[in-house]
Structure 1
Amino acid sequence: MRVSLKDVAERAGVSIKTVSNVVNNYQHITPAMRARVQHAIDELGYRPNLTARHLRKGRTGIIALALPELANPYYAELAGAVIDVAAEHDYTVLIDVTGGRRRQEAQVGQGFRARVTDGIILSPLELRPEDLRNRDDDAPLVLLGERGDGVPYDAVAIDNVAAARTAVRHLTGLGRRRVAFLGGRTDDTAHPAHLRLRGWREVLATQGVEAPDHLIAPTNGWDRADGAEAMTRLLDTDEPPDAVFAYNDLLAIGALRVLSQRGVRVPEDMAVMGFDDIAESRFGAITLTTIAPDKRAIARLAIESILTRLQDPDRGPDSLRRGELRPEYRLMERESTLGRG
């Protein structure tokens, strides 16, 4: 039989209200009383009925997380962080995959009309501001990534331009003069690749380093094979680069494979920099220097934004400045730029 609050109260010799206060982490409980109730909870194996708790508040206890894909380790690691943070607030995460397609992203952004979720976290690639106009779902929406102006919803994103500048300054600081950008975009859709390319251009311009177009290698996708194909093209130019800054770690890992096959020494002949700090970047034959976004902070800020909206439904969508939703990032220096030491 399911253990109830009454069972715990009887075992601890306290009131049901006291047990409820402990379960809900009410602050004004003495340590001795908290320990006494917790001992009874552990003995009986009591588990709170989270469904009933959420229903009493008129909520479902579910937050939707929509990502472009899960095969990309960055998104998988981010999903894990969101699930962990949501669990701290007694929420379950429902994961949806959009494939990075505009139509699917717009459908998620418009909301789940059956109201199965209390909030939506959406990481879009192709979404445009007009796709969220006339949104009739009142569930809080949080976007992951820089979306530009005209989107009146909280957005959680590292400063991609600043992070790219950090990456390229690291490469030029090592004496690299022909720094290529791997993973450029040719369309005008708002995308982090454009912002990272901008940071690349800004650093090279301020340091008097040439940034010719032939050092920009567009890719059709963001996986290892795309990085390998683009790196092959760069090596086959008349003046190959001596360093590569890749849009993400997967592209960089694909580039490392081609460099190994072609006998190009890393980092002696070619320094390689990634972005995302996925687990694979730390365990390759050559560990990858990369920009590490704080995935835990991204998850925390997104969940906190939703919970804030739920607690104060009348709060306007612009009441949180985007500058307050900026997680940190770090430059992780490894063998692909520094060597084995």
Structure 2
Amino acid sequence: MGVTLKDVAQRAGVSIKTVSNVVHGYEHVTPEMRQRVNKALEELNYQPNLPARYLRKGRVSILALAIPFLTNPYFSDIGKAVINAATARSYTVLIDSTDGERSKETLVINGMYPHLIDGVILSPLALEAEDLQERRVTVPLVLLGERLFNVPYDHVVIDNVAAAKLATQHLISLGRKRIAAIGAQGVSAGDTARLRLQGYREALVEAGMSWNPDLVIRSLEYDRIDGIRAMHQLMELETPPDAVFCFNDLLALGAMRALYEGSYRVPEDVAVIGFDDIKESAFSVPSLSTIAPNKQQIGDLAVSFLLDRIEETYSGPPRQTQAPFQLIVRESTAGRHA
């Protein structure tokens, strides 16, 4: 017979309920109690009895995470954050990639059944509100990102307008006068791009700077090659920009490559800032200034919301919360002294 919660409680000198709260990741346990329980769990090599949990509660302790692109480091980071948060609550995470296609996202919300998973976390790019209204299954669902608002599901976002505004204000504070933007989108699925463009424009207007559409380059894709192509368009202008806000780090890395090939210096000739704070940004040459969403908190909030629904500890109206972000200043805007 394996180690039980009762065995752990006796070793730690606490109640079985306290051990259960720690094992399930509930926050209302004092740090001292949590430390005692975790020490006892480790000493006794406690392993949760997942088959028994399923028979008792009708749950399999498996969550699904559906992201648009596995190759985008930002979504890989989100996946890791979700896995960390779920593991701490004794749940396993299955990851699926939708390629940002509506048909695949619809399959995610309708095609996964309760006997396979307990809940779904989805970062949609193409899903429409009516797809959710026509949803045929009752598996709990949490949404990530800015694609859909005012839908009856818990939702974790960041304030993209404020974040983009902060990035642009940083470039303005450096005395840059012709600030370009790479990543605008004219498609219905481009909600994140629309919000970041709004923040960029608001920062310019508040600084008394004119809005120049020639300095805004659209990009349907957000990879490095797209940043190279967009930067080449800007370099071909009669008066190129002296700063660029890219709507993600991959675009920014591509833009810096194009500037290097064009014999422009970064940041002396053109300052560059990105968005996402992927690990590559800290190791590029020059290192990339960026907006860093708190990805671990995004994962923590998404898993917490989902388990509240799965374990029926919350049955109230849908919740929407914003995860924090911060400006990371590196060499691409501040020079080598950064």
Instruction: Determine if the TM-score, normalized by the shorter chain, exceeds 0.5.
Output: yes
Seen in structure 2, the aligned counterparts of structure 1 residues 14 and 256 have a Cα distance that, compared at 3 Å, is closer
Are 2:135 and 1:139 aligned?
no
Q: Is the 8 A contact 1:165 1:199 kept in 2?
A: yes
Q: Is the 8 A contact 1:65 1:95 kept in 2?
A: yes
Report the alpha carbon displacement of residue 25 of structure 1 after superposing the two structures with TM.
4.6
SS at structure 2 position matched to 1:59: coil
Paired letter, 1:298: I
The answer for the alignment partner of 2:73 in structure 1 is: 73
* Alpha-carbon separation, structure 2, partners of 1:53 and 1:22: 18
Paired letter, 1:133: Q
TM-score with structure 1 length normalisation? Answer: 0.88
Report the alpha carbon displacement of residue 249 of structure 1 after superposing the two structures with TM.
0.2
The answer for the alignment partner of 2:92 in structure 1 is: 92
* Alpha-carbon separation, structure 2, partners of 1:235 and 1:82: 40
Alignment partner of 2:333 out of 327, 332, 337: 337
Are 2:310 and 1:328 aligned?
no
Seen in structure 2, the aligned counterparts of structure 1 residues 35 and 165 have a Cα distance that, compared at 3 Å, is closer
Report the alpha carbon displacement of residue 190 of structure 1 after superposing the two structures with TM.
4.7
SS at structure 2 position matched to 1:172: helix
Unaligned runs of 5+ in 2: 23-27
Q: Is the 8 A contact 1:147 1:155 kept in 2?
A: no
Q: Deviations over 1:92-126 (max 9, x none)?
A: 00101001111111221235135411111000111
Paired letter, 2:164: A
SS at structure 1 position matched to 2:332: helix
Seen in structure 2, the aligned counterparts of structure 1 residues 75 and 14 have a Cα distance that, compared at 3 Å, is closer
CA root-mean-square deviation? 2.8
The range that moved more, 201-210 or 71-80, is 201-210
Unaligned runs of 5+ in 1: none
Seen in structure 2, the aligned counterparts of structure 1 residues 308 and 44 have a Cα distance that, compared at 3 Å, is closer
The range that moved more, 52-61 or 87-96, is 52-61
Report the alpha carbon displacement of residue 211 of structure 1 after superposing the two structures with TM.
2.0
Report the alpha carbon displacement of residue 28 of structure 1 after superposing the two structures with TM.
9.7
The answer for the alignment partner of 2:2 in structure 1 is: 3
* Alpha-carbon separation, structure 1, partners of 2:150 and 2:233: 37
Paired letter, 2:20: N
The answer for the alignment partner of 1:209 in structure 2 is: 209
Q: Is the 8 A contact 2:287 2:332 kept in 1?
A: yes
* Alpha-carbon separation, structure 2, partners of 1:294 and 1:267: 26
Structure possessing the higher radius of gyration over alpha carbons: 1
Q: Is the 8 A contact 2:68 2:124 kept in 1?
A: yes
The answer for the alignment partner of 2:25 in structure 1 is: none
Report the alpha carbon displacement of residue 86 of structure 1 after superposing the two structures with TM.
0.4
* Alpha-carbon separation, structure 1, partners of 2:171 and 2:38: 57
Taking the TM superposition and a 5 Å limit, the aligned residue runs for 1:169-188 are 169-188=169-188
The range that moved more, 104-113 or 84-93, is 104-113
SS at structure 2 position matched to 1:64: strand
Seen in structure 2, the aligned counterparts of structure 1 residues 186 and 53 have a Cα distance that, compared at 3 Å, is same
Seen in structure 2, the aligned counterparts of structure 1 residues 20 and 271 have a Cα distance that, compared at 3 Å, is same
SS at structure 2 position matched to 1:151: coil
* Alpha-carbon separation, structure 1, partners of 2:302 and 2:42: 32
* Alpha-carbon separation, structure 2, partners of 1:209 and 1:221: 28
Give the fraction of aligned pairs with identical amino acids, expressed as a percent.
Answer: 45
Report the alpha carbon displacement of residue 88 of structure 1 after superposing the two structures with TM.
0.8
* Alpha-carbon separation, structure 2, partners of 1:13 and 1:215: 64
Are 2:289 and 1:304 aligned?
no
Q: Is the 8 A contact 2:252 2:272 kept in 1?
A: yes
Q: Is the 8 A contact 2:18 2:29 kept in 1?
A: no
Q: Is the 8 A contact 1:291 1:332 kept in 2?
A: yes
Q: Is the 8 A contact 1:5 1:20 kept in 2?
A: no
Are 2:23 and 1:24 aligned?
no
Paired letter, 1:281: S
Seen in structure 2, the aligned counterparts of structure 1 residues 306 and 35 have a Cα distance that, compared at 3 Å, is closer
SS at structure 2 position matched to 1:139: coil
* Alpha-carbon separation, structure 1, partners of 2:46 and 2:86: 21
Q: Is the 8 A contact 1:184 1:193 kept in 2?
A: yes
Paired letter, 2:206: T
Paired letter, 1:180: A
TM-score with structure 2 length normalisation? Answer: 0.88
Seen in structure 2, the aligned counterparts of structure 1 residues 135 and 69 have a Cα distance that, compared at 3 Å, is same
Report the alpha carbon displacement of residue 237 of structure 1 after superposing the two structures with TM.
1.3
Seen in structure 2, the aligned counterparts of structure 1 residues 49 and 338 have a Cα distance that, compared at 3 Å, is same
The range that moved more, 119-128 or 104-113, is 104-113
Q: Is the 8 A contact 1:140 1:306 kept in 2?
A: yes
Q: Deviations over 1:217-236 (max 9, x none)?
A: 11131111111111111101
Seen in structure 2, the aligned counterparts of structure 1 residues 38 and 203 have a Cα distance that, compared at 3 Å, is closer
* Alpha-carbon separation, structure 2, partners of 1:36 and 1:126: 45
* Alpha-carbon separation, structure 1, partners of 2:146 and 2:38: 46
The answer for the alignment partner of 1:284 in structure 2 is: 284
The answer for the alignment partner of 1:258 in structure 2 is: 258
Paired letter, 1:250: L
* Alpha-carbon separation, structure 2, partners of 1:95 and 1:292: 23
The range that moved more, 201-210 or 107-116, is 107-116
Q: How many residues align?
A: 329
Seen in structure 2, the aligned counterparts of structure 1 residues 331 and 180 have a Cα distance that, compared at 3 Å, is same
